[in-house]
Amino acid sequence: MNAEIQDNLQAPIFRHLSETADELGVECYVIGGWVRDLFLHRPSNDIDVVVVGSGIVLAQALKDKLGKKAHLSVFKNFGTAQIKSGDMEIEMVGARKESYDRNSRKPIVEDGTLEDDQNRRDFTINAMAIRLNKAHFGELVDPFQGMQDLKYRIIRTPLDPSITFSDDPLRILRCIRFATQLQFNIEERTYNALSKNKERLSIVSPERIVEELNKIMMAKKPSIGLSLLEKTGLLEIILPELSRLKGVEVRNGKGHKDIFLHTLQVVDNIAAKTDNLWLRWAALFHDIGKFPTKRFDEKLGWTFHNHNFIGEKMIPGIFKRMRFPMNEKMRYVQKIVTLHMRPIALVEEEITDSAIRRLLFEAGDDIEDLMLLCEADITSRNEEKVKRYTQNLIEVRAKLKDIEQKDHVRNFQPPVSGNEIMETFGLAPCHEVGAIKMTIKEAILDGIIPNEYEAARKLMFETAAKLGITPKK
Ligand code: CTP
């Protein structure tokens, strides 16, 4: 037996499975992702077991053997059962033969052999099985040379790729996702079938699509998947706002950079710094406003005026369509997108205390994430430029720290509240109350008065007097 297999089958659960299957007189295999990950040295506790017979019967017998240590769940409708034992989750199912209806991802299922079951799987590296019955314990069943594909780092479908993808088009995205996570190449026929079957994505739910996209975004180098999505024409279907950023236009000898390629670089840069999924999404969306705002000006060349604000406005539509959460996660992405140019813009003028205070006030606790995006956004090939921008951001960071320590304006609330203003002057909620509050806030951010209660209260009286408002008697 292969030494790696032997090591990984040491856990007592495999011996129990082996004995149970032999007692029932059925063939039993561990299959799919667990086997793939064993050879990739990514040990996993999610174990898929296929039995040539009933998965539910096997699970019930295993539960009897394990007693109270194990928890059994049976899913009669799907013909599957799950055992949880310690930190292991074992999913048991009978070997199946599947045929598909063109309009649904739900197959018509019949009992089948191991071979039928392996034929219906998505990729050769996911179709390997290891036999658990005692007489053949640890034998690898690899009819499609999955081991070789692992060795040469190739994603390939076991059958004609058009059949595999058309049967279940979610696999189109799984293919790109595995290529990204594992940094494998996609075999040519499999690759060509991706775009050929792209229209079939229409029967996949947005939730499933997003699940795969999130996995791509969380990979070490998301650009691998994003670029594959673009090249295969899938991005145009899923996220047209991004695929439109592709390309360079030249007018009067003046070109602009390929914003899509720039964006990919920014996403990879941020992925090297953070595992925050939403910051990675914010990096992907940071320049989406550049397509609708692109103009050519005879004097200035290409401009993308207010692209950050337009980008911010585009995000709810995208989130809604993608069934992303339309809550504080969305607002976070919007905030990062809208503010993404501020730290760099700061240095183009002078880094005044007031500008830094405003930035801190607007970014709040997300200031660190915003700075990470700004740093990731520096992708120029001109070394001199990169050096200058990087140095500028170091200065902004130092200044931010300085002001933060001095003024505490992050998440700042003016020290005099609207209630206090209403109370002092006997006012109901009205425009004037807002105006007084705003004057105090602006004065603090501009450094005209310190961020302290007494100074704020004094300014409250002065501002009210100018508006002709007198204190309540
Ligand atoms: N599978 C398939 N087609 C799908 C989904 C899954 O053929 N659309 C098969 C593959 O053999 C896969 C196994 O079912 O290995 C288990 O699927 P799943 O748990 O979703 O994926 P894993 O391969 O284990 O990988 P990951 O956990 O990274 O999603």
Which stretch, 37-51, 336-350, 437-451, has highest mean pLDDT? 37-51
Residues 16-65 have pLDDT tens digits of 999 999 999 999 999 999 999 999 999 899 999 999 999 999 999 999 99
Domain count, the chain: 4
Q: Which of 152, 92, 90 is nearest to 117 (CA)?
A: 92
Least confident of 214-218, 391-395, 405-409, 457-461: 405-409
| pLDDT score of 172 | 97
Output the furthest CA–CA distance in the chain (Å, rounded): 97
125 has a pLDDT exceeding 80: yes
Mean pLDDT computed over 283-306: 92
Mean pLDDT computed over 231-248: 96
pLDDT band with cut points at 50, 70 and 90 for residue 77: confident
Mutate to test the pocket of ligand 1, among 114, 126, 163 (most ligand atoms within 8 A of CB): 126
| pLDDT score of 237 | 95
Distance CA 336, CA 96 (A): 48
Instruction: Please name the residue whose Cα sits nearest to atom 27 of ligand 1.
Output: 33
Residue 177 near residue 212 (C-beta atoms within 8 A): yes
Instruction: Please name the residue whose Cα sits nearest to atom 18 of ligand 1.
Output: 33
Percent of the chain at pLDDT above 90?
75
| pLDDT score of 105 | 74
Q: Measured on CA atoms in the order 260, 208, 309, 399, is the torsion positive or negative?
A: negative
Residue 81 near residue 61 (C-beta atoms within 8 A): no
Residues 385 and 424 in one domain: no
pLDDT band with cut points at 50, 70 and 90 for residue 212: very high
Residues 215 and 291 in one domain: no
Question: How far are the Cα atoms of 39, 122, 199, 376 from residue 214, in angstroms, in the given order?
Answer: 24, 20, 21, 20
Which of 21 and 100 is assigned the larger pLDDT?
21
Residues 15 and 132 in one domain: yes
**Residue 263 included in any domain:** no
Distance CA 174, CA 182 (A): 12
Instruction: Please name the residue whose Cα sits nearest to atom 21 of ligand 1.
Output: 33
Taking each helix axis as running N to C, give the angle between helix 453-466 and helix 431-445, from 0 to 180 degrees, rounded to the nearest 10. 130
Instruction: Please name the residue whose Cα sits nearest to atom 29 of ligand 1.
Output: 33
Residues 138 and 184 in one domain: no
Residues 215 and 338 in one domain: no
Distance, CA 275 to ligand 1 centroid (Å)?
23
pLDDT band with cut points at 50, 70 and 90 for residue 437: very high
**Residue 472 included in any domain:** no
| pLDDT score of 106 | 78
**Residue 473 included in any domain:** no
Residues 286 and 403 in one domain: yes
Mean pLDDT computed over 312-335: 96
Lining ligand 1 with CB less than 6 A are 32-33, 48, 121-122, 126-127, 168, 170-171, 174
Please report the DSSP string for 395-452 in residue order: HHHHHHHHHHHHH--TT---SS-HHHHHHHHTPPS-HHHHHHHHHHHHHHHTTSS-SS
Residues 361 and 447 in one domain: no
**Residue 46 included in any domain:** yes
pLDDT band with cut points at 50, 70 and 90 for residue 3: confident
Instruction: Please name the residue whose Cα sits nearest to atom 9 of ligand 1.
Output: 121
SS3 for 163? helix
Strand partners, 74: 81
Distance, CA 126 to ligand 1 centroid (Å)?
7
Which of 119, 151, 183 marks a domain boundary?
151
**Residue 341 included in any domain:** yes
The mean pLDDT of the chain is: 93
349 has a pLDDT exceeding 70: no
Question: What does DSSP say about strands 80-85 and 70-75: parallel, antiparallel, or unpaired?
Answer: antiparallel
Ligand 1 atom showing the smallest separation from residue 32 Cα? 15
Distance, CA 33 to ligand 1 centroid (Å)?
6
Mutate to test the pocket of ligand 1, among 82, 122, 130 (most ligand atoms within 8 A of CB): 122
| pLDDT score of 472 | 84
Distance, CA 182 to ligand 1 centroid (Å)?
14
Instruction: Please name the residue whose Cα sits nearest to atom 28 of ligand 1.
Output: 33
Ligand 1 atom showing the smallest separation from residue 174 Cα? 8
Question: How far are the Cα atoms of 288, 330, 336 from residue 175, in angstroms, in the given order?
Answer: 26, 28, 31
Distance, CA 32 to ligand 1 centroid (Å)?
6
260 has a pLDDT exceeding 90: yes
Distance, CA 116 to ligand 1 centroid (Å)?
16
Which of 238, 259, 291 marks a domain boundary?
238
Residues 147 and 163 in one domain: no
The domain of 225 spans: 159-238
Least confident of 34-43, 95-104, 312-321: 95-104
Domain CATH number, residue 225: 1.10.110.30
Residues 141 and 195 in one domain: no
Residues 144 and 11 in one domain: yes
| pLDDT score of 104 | 75
Mutate to test the pocket of ligand 1, among 121, 123, 181, 216 (most ligand atoms within 8 A of CB): 121
78 has a pLDDT exceeding 90: no
Residues 147 and 167 in one domain: no
133 has a pLDDT exceeding 90: yes
Q: At which residue do the structure tokens 């032999």 appear?
A: 22
Which of 130, 151, 172 marks a domain boundary?
151
**Residue 261 included in any domain:** no
Ligand 1 atom showing the smallest separation from residue 168 Cα? 8
Residues 151-192 have pLDDT tens digits of 999 999 999 999 999 889 999 999 999 999 999 999 999 999
347 has a pLDDT exceeding 80: no
Residues 70 and 125 in one domain: yes
Which of 414 and 88 is assigned the larger pLDDT?
88
Distance CA 336, CA 454 (A): 34
Domain CATH number, residue 80: 3.30.460.10
